[in-house]
Amino acid sequence: MKKTASQRVSKPANERKRAASKVANGVRTGTVKRETTETQIALTLTIDGTGKYSVSTGIRFFDHMLELFARHGGFDLKLKCKGDLDVDQHHTVEDIGIALGEAFAQALGDKKGILRAGYFVMTMDETLAVAAVDLSGRAAYVVETQVTAPLVGDFQTELLPDFFDGFARGAKANVHVKTMYGRSNHHKIEAIFKAFARALRGACSRDERMREMLPSTKGLL
């Protein structure tokens, strides 16, 4: 039977649509290998994961934070870092921030069809923390922890801004985190990481209606 014009064009058009949707719905992953004289990092991230993790940084409390970051974000995270902890934790914490940010940037690609910005308010028992993330293409961070102890577990708490600074630079993102109030220093840091994970999860999530659109009027993110 002779096909009409519309029948002839309809099949390739549908195939193109299926191909496009496969890209748009694909699982977004990033892999970063970062080696300096101070740290050796191997990191694999899946944004569209199920919160599975395998994290080893040599700093147990930091592992705890990155593990719950993965779980609360719904990200799969495989991270192994061997850093110069005999100096202190600075290089390890900052470089993991950079590598993690780079993995997100890689996984997000051109950022078409994502929400781009996200925020979350998270409780941790008596503590309340907020986080706001904009995957804006520009690096900036503000960190207010209200943490009063130099160490929580084995973690040097003054390095929290260095982690978020590294992440903001690696991901080219604005990251603001703040403890509103709380008592436990453990809870203050944990609430920040949970809020951050959930804010980032929102920012990375896809908006079906805007799938072909860049979430910016600038034409580049």
The binding site for Mn ion (CB under 5 A) comprises 190
User: Cβ of residue 182: shortest distance to Mn ion, in angstroms?
Assistant: 13
Q: Between residues 44 and 146, which has the closer beta carbon with respect to Mn ion? A: 146
Q: Which two tokens stand for residue 16?
A: 């193109």
Q: Between residues 137 and 153, which has the closer beta carbon with respect to Mn ion? A: 153
Label residues 182-218 b or e (16+ Cβ within 10 Å = b). bebbbbbbbbbbbbbbbbbbbbbebeeeeeeebbeee
Q: Between residues 72 and 111, which has the closer beta carbon with respect to Mn ion? A: 72
Q: Between residues 102 and 190, which has the closer beta carbon with respect to Mn ion? A: 190
User: Cβ of residue 68: shortest distance to Mn ion, in angstroms?
Assistant: 7
CA within 13 Å, CB half, 98: 15
**What gap in Å lies between CA 179 and CA 167, rounded to an integer?**
19
**What gap in Å lies between CA 204 and CA 216, rounded to an integer?**
14
Nearest residue by C-beta to Mn ion? 190
Q: Which two tokens stand for residue 187?
A: 């809870």
User: Cβ of residue 127: shortest distance to Mn ion, in angstroms?
Assistant: 11
User: Cβ of residue 129: shortest distance to Mn ion, in angstroms?
Assistant: 13
